[in-house]
Amino acid sequence: MGKITGFLEYKRELATDRSPTERIKDWQEFHDHMDEQKLRLQGARCMDCGIPYCHGGVMIAGMATGCPVNNLIPEWNDLVYRGHFKDALDRLHKTNNFPDFTGRVCPAPCEGSCTVGLIDSPVAIKTIEYEIIERGFAEGHVVAQPPLVRTGKKVAVVGSGPSGLACAAQLNYAGHEVTVFERADRIGGLLMYGIPNMKLDKSVVERRVQILSQEGIEFVVNTEVGKDYPIQRLRENFDAIVLCTGATKPRDLAIEGRMLSGIHYAVEFLHKNTKSLLDSNLEDGQFISAKGKDVIVIGGGDTGTDCVATSLRHGCKSITQLEILDRSPDVRAGANPWPQFPRVYKLDYGQEEAFSIQGKEPREYGILTKRFVGDEHGAVSGLYTVRVKWEKDDKGRMVPIELPGTEEFFPAQVILLAMGFLGPETSLLEQFGVDVDERTNAKAEYGKFMTSVEGVFAAGDMRRGQSLVVWAINEGRAAARECDRYLMGHTQLP
């Protein structure tokens, strides 16, 4: 249970980061490690609160609380406090296939549901998770563990993002022969090309993929199912199929001037940058450069932050981020009580870097883009905006109301659309004949994951819509369990 007087004695402390002005000069991860003694004291702050919402992963009033993969957080916090790092690693891997990913990119809903957070700063759960797994790798405890017995069943997993990799890992653990198909040239999906290197170093993804390969999973890259590999052939060669291709259809902004050059989807900007970085250290020029340009990112969220940070590393002239929503409050609002995830203002790593360079927050809140304008060559040169306020309409829905006299022009030679995703690309689902829901996601009941087509399952963002990496892992694991039940008539997968 940690130390009886843990959080009363020790304040929350996180590992230090490299300074923003230094880290924007390279593409390396910017988090430092925490000293073991300090880490153990952070573990001591977790005091067996009786009802640990941190690992609940339940929905309360329509919002998720705690860890979606039900990490045994109080257990491994206590083990870290006592110095039993190998045991902590074993407990961590009980519920999470990839703490090396979530320890870096998860927004930590567990911390938002930490009981200590009611009266003090929450336990540094994400930091502890990161240190447990990295220590495990450093000490050689994370090794391939191939199954002792094979079932003779073959499963195809389409898509190698977090849900696909988690699903493949669990099915392989159950003894099935698993093949993962990926249309890109590298395995990892969102983990490889959707998240920039300074946030998740690609060597971290590659070392985990290597372990999965050593455990017997076959990876096939540069192969788009339904195009390079026919659907019928897939059905003939495998006993079951799990679709994990993500929600990759970006939301567009259909306003005047949209066809001007220099306006790009954020996902295209991030993908090309990482590929060029890995292929040639950006020397091949096969990426969208923000160097010396005024850059505007439309949309908030993690993707918008990643675009800000990437543009700064290119050496942009200026960076501005436009958000149609109002600024979040500094503390929880009454409608957002504990243990829900706190919707509060934060200065994320990209905004922190922009602040250090420009001397101010890059975000403009409550602002709507009205039209793009360009030069005589058809290239974008800026955009016009108007300020908005949010009010309820006659149906009780919050809608933006434009404020007269607030029109404004922002110069920009690169504009990045980071407004989220509408759902999965439809071609694959149509070829399989899978029913879709009203949001065009693959229709498959949570907990069962079987689509309308016998033997075809769906998981991750493709089924639930755009979400967190940790939710993708949750779905991949659960879909593997149901796929195993379908193949064997029973399952022992968690």
Torsion of CA 57, 58, 62, 65, to 10 degrees: -40
pLDDT at 62: 80
CB of 264 within 8 A of CB of 416?
Answer: yes
Residues facing residue 373 across a β-bridge: 382
Residue 48 is encoded by which pair of tokens?
């067996």
Q: Do 359 and 452 fall within a single domain?
A: no
E runs forming strands in 366-417: 367-374, 380-392, 398-402, 408-411, 414-417
How far is residue 478's CA from residue 167's CA, in Å, rounded to a whole number?
8
Estimate the share of the chain in helix, then strand, then coil, as percent rounded to the nearest 5.
35, 20, 45
In a domain, 104, yes or no: yes
Q: Do 132 and 223 fall within a single domain?
A: no
Q: Which residue range forms the structural domain that includes residue 28?
A: 6-138
Q: Compute CA distances 305 → 191, 289, 366, 384, whole Å.
A: 16, 17, 17, 22
In a domain, 145, yes or no: no
pTM for this predicted structure: 0.95
Residues facing residue 298 across a β-bridge: 322, 417
In a domain, 217, yes or no: yes
In a domain, 293, yes or no: yes
In a domain, 223, yes or no: yes
Q: Do 373 and 361 fall within a single domain?
A: yes
Pairing of strands 249-250, 240-243: unpaired
pLDDT at 2: 65
How far is residue 473's CA from residue 169's CA, in Å, rounded to a whole number?
10
How far is residue 37's CA from residue 372's CA, in Å, rounded to a whole number?
54
Q: Residue 228: how many CB atoms within 10 A of its CB?
A: 11
Q: Do 189 and 166 fall within a single domain?
A: yes
Q: Do 331 and 385 fall within a single domain?
A: yes
CB of 297 within 8 A of CB of 308?
Answer: yes
Tens of pLDDT, residue by residue, the chain (494 residues): 667 888 888 999 999 999 999 999 999 999 899 999 999 999 999 987 878 899 888 888 888 799 999 999 999 999 999 999 999 999 999 999 999 999 999 999 999 999 999 889 999 999 999 999 999 999 999 999 999 999 999 999 999 999 999 999 999 999 999 999 999 999 999 999 999 999 999 999 999 999 999 999 999 999 999 999 999 999 999 999 999 999 999 999 999 999 999 999 999 999 999 999 999 999 999 999 999 999 999 998 899 999 999 999 999 999 999 999 999 999 999 889 999 999 999 999 999 999 999 999 999 999 999 999 999 999 999 999 999 999 999 988 999 999 999 999 999 999 999 999 999 999 999 999 999 999 999 999 999 999 999 999 999 999 999 999 999 999 999 999 999 999 999 999 99
List, in order, residues 6 or more apart from 397 with CB less than 8 Å away: none
How far is residue 447's CA from residue 449's CA, in Å, rounded to a whole number?
6
CB of 472 within 8 A of CB of 162?
Answer: yes
| Torsion-angle region of 259 (φ positive above 0: left; ψ -120 to 50: alpha; else: beta) | alpha
Q: Do 105 and 196 fall within a single domain?
A: no
Nearest to 407 by CA among 368, 361, 373, 360: 368
CATH number, domain at 39? Answer: 1.10.1060.10
Which of 361, 384, 419 finishes a domain?
419
Q: Residue 379: how many CB atoms within 10 A of its CB?
A: 13
State which amino acid sits at residue 343: R
DSSP-assigned states of every residue in 273-320: HHHHHHHHTT-S--S---TTSEEEEE--HHHHHHHHHHHHHHT-SEEE
Residue 487 is encoded by which pair of tokens?
């193949």
Which of 111, 138, 165 finishes a domain?
138
Q: Do 97 and 217 fall within a single domain?
A: no
In a domain, 449, yes or no: yes
Q: Compute CA distances 136 → 47, 143, 318, whole Å.
A: 24, 9, 41
Nearest to 420 by CA among 325, 287, 332: 325
How far is residue 494's CA from residue 481's CA, in Å, rounded to a whole number?
7
In a domain, 103, yes or no: yes
Q: Do 329 and 341 fall within a single domain?
A: yes
What total of structural domains would you count in the chain?
Answer: 3
Q: Do 123 and 224 fall within a single domain?
A: no
Nearest to 369 by CA among 466, 263, 248: 263
DSSP-assigned states of every residue in 406-426: --EEEE-SEEEE-S-EEE--H
Q: Do 164 and 230 fall within a single domain?
A: yes
Task: Give burial (CB, 10 Å; 0-12/13-18/19+) of 220.
Answer: middle
Residues facing residue 295 across a β-bridge: 319, 414
Which of 107, 138, 169 finishes a domain?
138
Torsion of CA 287, 290, 292, 296, to 10 degrees: 160
CB of 333 within 8 A of CB of 326?
Answer: no
Q: Do 266 and 379 fall within a single domain?
A: yes
Q: Do 69 and 121 fall within a single domain?
A: yes
How far is residue 355's CA from residue 323's CA, in Å, rounded to a whole number?
17
In a domain, 148, yes or no: no
Q: Which DSSP letter does residue 89 get?
A: H
CATH number, domain at 367? Answer: 3.50.50.60
